[in-house]
Structure 1
Amino acid sequence: MNNGGKERPALNNGMLITIEGGEGAGKSSIIQALAAYLASKGVTAVTTREPGGIPIAEQIRNVILDPAHVGMDARTEALLYAAARRQHLVEKVIPALKEGRWVLCDRFIDSSLAYQGYARGLGMEEIMAINSFAIAETMPDLTLYLDVSPQTGLKRIAEAGVREVNRLDLETMTFHERVREGYRQLVRKFPQRIVQVDAEGAPEHVLNEATRAIERRFEGIFAAGVKKI
């Protein structure tokens, strides 16, 4: 992969922070907590998700995650994710960055690399090529990978009962283990961009680790004072 760790060109000081992890890692919850944390620093962050975030991408999300679509080809899945990502970027993420806003996004390109590239066996280089066309030079400034065992993550989903069971929840445990290993390979490959956070513990512990990672990455910006948008 030739640009998985490359920093994107500055867009008027806007920052893109992506949150990654397997099913049940707690991404949605941590994003809301991080938005509150950034607000305390003078940053009003835009929160969004992939696939989704805008109407066209939400429709693609429905197609991808529909449990009825168990026969979906792996390459079709990868292309749909890339298409949703492109529309989401041009319609929501890039405009926010150009306005100097910070964006917290639930999943981004690393999900495709871990799920389709590694777990589906399509190859990370191949998935990076598809997504390089989709995202151009828009890479995250920081990625937080919430590491949790598939057993813990899927148990959380079953016990919480707060969302529908989607097509990915129905995959085998072996598949979810491969997703985890795919993410861990990305952490090792791009340590300058991706920070692994232990997501097995209490939400307070996860938030503390996540905020420390943000403080380390953006220490200079916070010290200088963030311009309020």
Structure 2
Amino acid sequence: MTQGRLISLEGGEGTGKSTQAKALANALEINGHKVWLTREPGGTPGAETIRELLLTGSEEKWNIRTEALLFAAARAEHCAKLIRPALSRGEWVITDRFIDSSRAYQSVNGQLDDAEIKDLHRVGSNNLMPDRTFILDLPEAVASRRAAARDRGDSDRIGGRDSAYHQAVMAKFRQFAVDEPDRVRLVDASQTAEAITEMLLQNLSDLMS
């Protein structure tokens, strides 16, 4: 059986992850792959319930450690119920966010470090890592404008955090690409949508054999 692959798309708010996840899934299906398109937090009924808890309400709703635990719980359910079964059948999974979002978003305030978040992932999801991660990179001002147009003034409790927070998150993402170049690829998201999709496909050619 052909090996299944897990591909994650990461980046800040408004960088086009959802658009590229859909385009990539379509392109892989045309090439004959069975593809699951999913997202985090979410992807399964239980994880979608946790998503609603995480993304709605006031900023003060959750302590940062509680927030990290909820993200880890949603991911554990996602991996157990959708991702691992699909991979075991030789299918591809394209997910809009995965563990690197937790690493970036939950560590920037200094209350949790990267090792602690990885520990949660090891316990909850048996340390499942993507075969390839694409980080869509845009200047924060451009990404912020796109996110504002998308949300129309109704951003979720994490997307609505201030500019300094989102700049720090993006800096974390960029560092992952430096530290883990075999898995993580930084993508210039200022190109046309079609050019970005083509670049993603080119950077998956080594996984398609």
Does residue 1:120 correspond to 2:109, yes or no? Answer: yes
2:87 to 59, 81, 97: 97
The aligned counterpart of 2:39 is 49
Letter paired with 1:37: A
CA contact (8 A) 2:59 2:158 kept: no
Q: Please list every run of 5 or more consecutive structure 2 residues that lacks an aligned counterpart in the other structure.
A: none
TM-score with structure 2 setting the length: 0.93
Does residue 1:218 correspond to 2:207, yes or no? Answer: yes
Q: Which moved more, 1:101-110 or 1:62-71?
A: 62-71
Superposed CA deviations along residues 157-216 of structure 1, whole A, max 9, x for unmatched, are 22234794101121111100000011111111111100111112321222122111112x
The runs of at least 4 aligned residues of structure 1 exceeding 2 Å deviation read 67-71, 160-164
For residues 204 and 70 of structure 1, the distance between their equivalents in structure 2, rounded to whole angstroms, comes to 39
CA contact (8 A) 1:143 1:195 kept: yes
Letter paired with 2:195: H
Superposed CA deviations along residues 17-53 of structure 1, whole A, max 9, x for unmatched, are 1111111111111011001111222112111011001
Letter paired with 1:28: S
Amino-acid identity (%): 38
Q: Please list every run of 5 or more consecutive structure 1 residues that lacks an aligned counterpart in the other structure.
A: 1-10, 222-229
Does residue 1:143 correspond to 2:133, yes or no? Answer: yes
How far did residue 71 of structure 1 move?
3.7
Does residue 1:169 correspond to 2:159, yes or no? Answer: yes
For residues 176 and 21 of structure 2, the distance between their equivalents in structure 1, rounded to whole angstroms, comes to 21
How far did residue 82 of structure 1 move?
0.2
The aligned counterpart of 1:27 is 17
Number of matched residues?
208
Give the aligned CA root-mean-square deviation in angstroms. 1.7
SS in 2 for 1:63: helix
SS in 2 for 1:104: strand
SS in 2 for 1:70: helix
SS in 1 for 2:203: helix
For residues 205 and 100 of structure 1, the distance between their equivalents in structure 2, rounded to whole angstroms, comes to 28
Letter paired with 1:129: D
The aligned counterpart of 2:66 is 76
| CA spacing shift, 1:59–1:18, aligned 2, 3 Å | same
Superposed CA deviations along residues 99-146 of structure 1, whole A, max 9, x for unmatched, are 1111101111100111112x2322111111111111114211111111
Letter paired with 2:197: L
How far did residue 13 of structure 1 move?
0.9
The aligned counterpart of 1:226 is none
How far did residue 93 of structure 1 move?
0.6
CA contact (8 A) 2:46 2:77 kept: yes
| CA spacing shift, 1:206–1:70, aligned 2, 3 Å | farther
Does residue 1:187 correspond to 2:177, yes or no? Answer: yes
Letter paired with 1:58: E
The aligned counterpart of 1:153 is 143
Superposed CA deviations along residues 62-105 of structure 1, whole A, max 9, x for unmatched, are 11111435342111111000000000110111111111111101
